[in-house]
Amino acid sequence: MPVQTANAVTLKGVRLDRGGRTILRDLDLVVPAGSITAVLGPSGTGKSTLLAALTGELVPATGTVQVFGEAVPRRSRELLEMRKGLGVLLQGNGLLTDLSVAENVALPLRTHTRLPEPVLQRLVAMKLNAVGLRAAAGLYPRELSGGMARRVALARALALDPPLMLYDEPLTGLDPIASGVIMSLIRRLSRSLGLTSIIVSHHVHETLPIADQAVVIANGSIVFDGTPAQLEASEDPLLRQFLRGEPDGPIPFESAPLERTRAEAG
């Protein structure tokens, strides 16, 4: 297990390139252990790319990424070890359709531990209970609503008790009620288990209320880092535009050639 330090994640001078293009640069970020951090920004700005740097899937072109005080490893064996401490909820849920809900949640436990079957079954029941789906253990993914499927994926991400949870667009495809359930679940699990949570989302108004820290990325870099209250009080035109979801303004929505960013910010 990683050593618990005051910071769950530290980025210093990070630049992230993909397909020969710089997606994000000059990233300096600290995520305190035990906090909920919302990483917000329009689609295509690099939110998922930032998460990829935390999971070690993407190696930074420059700078350092630390998780619980340790550099994200590059060698595959150490990387696999580190990833046991990371719970990741990806956009598509990634449930296996041929497996029951219980077996989907059991999967990480079967892969990474050698727990006796009764212990494993008990843990699965506890995780499903934590997301309010104990009664759904025997169902198959096709029998679940979108919100239930997201909660099963959440239970599976929690299976190994990771100290750090990464959520990539946890509300995509959910109706307002299911969205509310997911957000309050994320908050409750974070608080009761003492987890550090990083929620990447373009759903500003659903995500901010449960966040301790808000980070906005736009135009290839971090344009805001502070509390949700500070963000909501900001008079920066770019942030106002983003908060109100206006299509025209300083953020060129969708694809933004990075070359423009400094000139505009500048």
Ligand X SMILES: Nc1ncnc2c1ncn2[C@@H]1O[C@H](COP(=O)(O)OP(=O)(O)O)[C@@H](O)[C@H]1O
Provide the binding-site residues for ligand X, judged by CB under 6 A: 18-19, 23, 41, 43-49, 255
Sign of CA dihedral 106, 110, 112, 116: positive
Count of residues engaged in binding Mg ion, rule: CB under 5 A = 2
Residue 87 contact partner, candidates ligand X, Mg ion, none, CB within 5 to 8 A by sort of partner: none
Strand partners, 22: 17
Distances (CA, A) of 36 to 7, 29, 33, 108, 260: 12, 14, 9, 24, 31
Nearest CA among 177, 178, 163, 157 for reference residue 95: 157
Radius of gyration of the chain (CA): 19
Mutual angle of helices 176-193 and 146-157, in 10-degree steps:
20
Mutual angle of helices 146-157 and 117-130, in 10-degree steps:
130
Query: Taking the complex as a whole, how short is the minimal distance between the CB of residue 163 and ligand X, in angstroms?
Result: 24
Sign of CA dihedral 181, 184, 187, 191: negative
Query: Taking the complex as a whole, how short is the minimal distance between the CB of residue 45 and Mg ion, in angstroms?
Result: 9
**Residue 30 vs 90, nearer CB to Mg ion:** 90
Query: Taking the complex as a whole, how short is the minimal distance between the CB of residue 61 and Mg ion, in angstroms?
Result: 19
Which span sits near Mg ion by CB under 5 A: 2-10, 43-51, 94-102, 204-212? 43-51
Residue 49 contact partner, candidates ligand X, Mg ion, none, CB within 5 to 8 A by sort of partner: ligand X
**Residue 49 vs 234, nearer CB to Mg ion:** 49
**Residue 138 vs 257, nearer CB to ligand X:** 257
Residue 76 contact partner, candidates Mg ion, ligand X, none, CB within 5 to 8 A by sort of partner: none
Nearest CA among 176, 184, 137, 178 for reference residue 156: 137
Query: Taking the complex as a whole, how short is the minimal distance between the CB of residue 18 and ligand X, in angstroms?
Result: 4
Query: Taking the complex as a whole, how short is the minimal distance between the CB of residue 37 and ligand X, in angstroms?
Result: 15
Structure tokens at 173: 């495809």
Strand partners, 89: 167
Structure tokens at 246: 């206006």
Query: Taking the complex as a whole, how short is the minimal distance between the CB of residue 164 and ligand X, in angstroms?
Result: 19
**Residue 47 vs 151, nearer CB to ligand X:** 47
Residue 18 contact partner, candidates ligand X, Mg ion, none, CB within 5 to 8 A by sort of partner: ligand X
Which span sits near Mg ion by CB under 5 A: 26-34, 40-48, 203-211, 223-231? 40-48
Query: Taking the complex as a whole, how short is the minimal distance between the CB of residue 57 and Mg ion, in angstroms?
Result: 13
Binding to Mg ion, residues 46-65 (CB under 5 A): 47-48
Sign of CA dihedral 200, 205, 210, 212: positive
What gap in Å lies between CA 52 and CA 64, rounded to an integer?
A: 14
- Residue closest to ligand X when measured from CB atoms: 19
Residue 46 contact partner, candidates ligand X, Mg ion, none, CB within 5 to 8 A by sort of partner: ligand X
Q: Which residues bind Mg ion (CB under 5 A)?
A: 47-48
